[in-house]
């Protein structure tokens, strides 16, 4: 095992992507070390979270590669910088995206600080994204080559300084190639299943997990015409466009089509549901975002025709910038967008270049007569 001070600290999750990242860098001759981040205290909730197994797998990979292994507990930072915000957003009726905040506050901030303490000025992660160094000294974030795995959406809140210190060795690869490389290297995690779910919740039951921290108040489910059709288990458990979990079943006077969450009435603790996945209440052409970050430090020009995603894995959606500064973004889409959800991120692209984005605050989707939007959208350009 090398004892040299590492040039690059690899963020090892215990999965195949980060393990292959370390293997690639070691093969290229870099002096590297691996660090496993523990972001959650499992005893807080009775669950089958696999952090202990993931840490063991990360250590095994380091032993295989002959590199130093470091373990760090970021649970306190995660609670203060990510989880408290997550809970506050749920209580406010929004649907937060903790993975974006985790990248900015933990993986590319707290992790970087610990890596530098150990001598590594740069870090590497298993994200499917690319970094480009520009002639003017700036850096750009680009989509990963594999469109099915591109994770630039989750990295849009990073700063120039954070990107300069980051390497993404998997950005030019497809997932199938990464699996093949892991097999070729006989890595201990080559056949390990990819993790799913929110980073701190993992495979555990989401509703039961949330109920451990927030009090859910059951209430009524109504149609847009204010007809009673069922009861919900607490607004914190629902998001716009959601189909599963409504448990409305057959209702007299309605067909057997599935129901979808169309609106949330926080003041009245009521849920509005519709039987059409593209019902007008679910569709919008414009949105407003706040807490905006521009990777180049410069907002796009008003009037620019670009592309945006309002959720991860969504195909690029053509849009026009109506307003943009360092705190605020307004977009108009060429085609109506389904279930634009306050609290989620909207991310803006110019081709493969990720320009940045922000947190969706509101959109111009209509509301049923009996409900007032949480944040009315200003219809003026």
Classify residue 208: in a domain, yes or no.
no
For residue 193, being part of any structural domain is answered with: no
Chain segment 124-165, per-residue pLDDT in tens: 999 999 999 999 999 999 999 999 999 999 999 999 999 999
Domain count, the chain: 3
Q: How far is CA 128 from the centre of its chain?
A: 13
> Within this chain, do residues 19 and 139 fall inside the same structural domain, yes or no?
yes
Q: Would strands 219-222 and 166-167 be described as parallel, antiparallel, or unpaired? A: unpaired
Range of the domain at 259: 216-274
Whether residue 205 lies inside any domain: the answer is no
Q: Is 272 annotated in the active site?
A: no
Tell me: do 266 and 312 sit in the same domain: no
DSSP for 152-173, written as a single string:
GGGGTT--HHHHHTEE-TTTTS
Cα–Cα distance measured from residue 335 to residue 350, given in angstroms and rounded to the nearest whole number: 18
Whether residues 66 and 171 fall in one domain: yes
Domain of residue 351, CATH code: 2.40.30.10
Q: Quick check: is 192 in a domain?
A: no
The reply to whether 111 and 229 lie within a common domain is no
Same domain assignment for residues 51 and 161: yes
Answer yes or no: do 138 and 258 share one domain. no
Same domain, 25 and 170: yes
Q: Do 74 and 55 share a structural domain? A: yes
Task: Return averaged pLDDT per consecutive 10 residues of the chain, 381 residues in all.
Answer: 82 96 97 93 55 92 97 92 94 94 93 96 97 97 97 97 97 97 96 73 74 94 95 96 89 88 95 96 98 97 98 96 96 98 98 98 94 51 40
**With b meaning 16 or more CB within 10 Å and e meaning fewer, what string describes 248-268?**
eeeeeeeeeeebbbbbbbeee
Residues 74 and 176 in one domain: yes
- Whether residues 290 and 324 share a domain: the answer is yes
Question: Is 1 within a domain?
Answer: no
User: What does the alpha-carbon distance between residue 363 and residue 374 come to, in Å, rounded to a whole number?
Assistant: 10
In order of 46, 81, 92, 101, 311, the CA distances from 204 in angstroms are 9, 22, 24, 21, 22
pTM for the model stands at: 0.92
CATH code at position 246: 2.30.30.280
Active-site residue flag, 49: no
What lies within 8 Å, CB to CB, of 226 at 6+ separation is 368, 369, 370
Looking at the structure, do residues 13 and 113 belong to the same domain, yes or no? yes
Question: In the 3-class helix/strand/coil scheme, how is the chain assigned residue by residue?
Answer: CCCCCCCEEEEECCCHHHHHHHHHHHHCCCCEEEEEEECCCHHHCCCCCCHHHHHHHHHHHHHHHCCEEEEEECHHHHHHHHHHHHHHHHHCCCCCCHHHHHHHHHHHHHHHHHHHHCCCCEEECCCCEEEEECCCCCEEEEECCCCCCCCHHHHCCCCHHHHHCEECCCCCCCHHHHHHHHHHCCCCCCCCCCCCCCCCCCCCCHHHHHHCCCCCCCEEEECCCCCEEEEECCHHHCCCCCCCCCCCCCCCCCCCCCCEEEEEECCCCEEEEECCCCCHHHEEEEEEEEEEEECCCCCCCCCCEEEEECCCCCCCEEEEEEEECCCEEEEEEEEEEECCCCCCEEEEEECCEEEEEEEEEEECCCCCCCCCCCCCCCCCC
Please indicate, yes or no, if residue 203 is contained in any of the structural domains: no
135 and 75 within one domain:
yes
Q: What is the pLDDT of residue 196?
A: 64
Residue 289: count other Cβ atoms within 10 Å of its Cβ. 26
Q: Which of 102, 272, 319, 354 is catalytic?
A: 102
| Position 371 in a domain | no
pLDDT (0 to 100) of residue 251? 80
In-domain check, residue 207:
no
Please calculate the CA angle 163-329-83 and round it to the nearest 5 degrees. 60
């Amino acid at each position: 095992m090398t004892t040299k001070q590492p040039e690059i600290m690899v963020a090892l999750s215990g999965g195949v992507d980060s393990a292959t990242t370390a293997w690639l860098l070691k093969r290229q001759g870099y002096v590297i070390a691996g660090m496993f981040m523990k972001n959650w205290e499992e005893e807080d909730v009775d669950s089958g979270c696999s952090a202990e197994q993931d840490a063991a797998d990360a250590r095994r990979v380091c032993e295989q590669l002959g590199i130093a292994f470091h373990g760090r507990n970021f649970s306190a930072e995660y609670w203060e910088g990510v989880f408290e915000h997550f809970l506050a957003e749920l209580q406010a009726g929004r649907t937060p995206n903790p993975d974006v905040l985790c990248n900015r506050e933990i993986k590319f901030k707290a992790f970087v600080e610990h890596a530098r303490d150990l001598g590594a000025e740069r870090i590497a992660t298993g994200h499917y994204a690319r970094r480009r160094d520009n002639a003017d000294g700036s850096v750009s974030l680009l989509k990963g080559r594999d469109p099915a795995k591109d994770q630039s959406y989750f990295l849009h809140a990073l700063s120039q300084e954070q990107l300069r210190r980051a390497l993404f060795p998997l950005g030019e690869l497809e997932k199938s190639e990464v699996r093949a490389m892991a097999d070729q290297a006989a890595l201990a995690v080559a056949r390990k299943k990819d993790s799913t779910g929110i980073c701190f919740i993992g495979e555990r039951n989401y509703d039961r997990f949330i109920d451990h921290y927030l009090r859910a108040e059951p209430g009524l489910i109504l149609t847009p015409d204010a007809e009673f059709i069922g009861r919900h288990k607490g607004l914190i458990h629902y998001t716009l466009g959601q189909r599963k979990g409504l448990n409305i079943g057959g209702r007299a006077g309605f067909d057997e089509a599935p129901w979808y969450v169309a609106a949330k009435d926080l003041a009245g603790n009521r849920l509005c549901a519709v039987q059409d996945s593209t019902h007008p209440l679910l569709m919008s052409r414009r949105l407003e975002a706040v807490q905006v970050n521009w990777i180049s430090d410069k907002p796009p020009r008003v009037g620019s025709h670009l592309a945006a995603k309002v959720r991860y894995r969504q195909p690029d959606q053509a849009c026009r910038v109506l307003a943009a500064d360092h705190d605020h973004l307004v977009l108009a889409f060429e085609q109506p967008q389904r279930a634009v959800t306050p609290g989620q991120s909207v991310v803006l692209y110019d081709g493969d270049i990720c320009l940045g984005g922000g947190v969706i605050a509101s959109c111009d989707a209509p509301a049923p007569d009996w409900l007032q939007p949480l944040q009315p959208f200003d219809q003026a350009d």
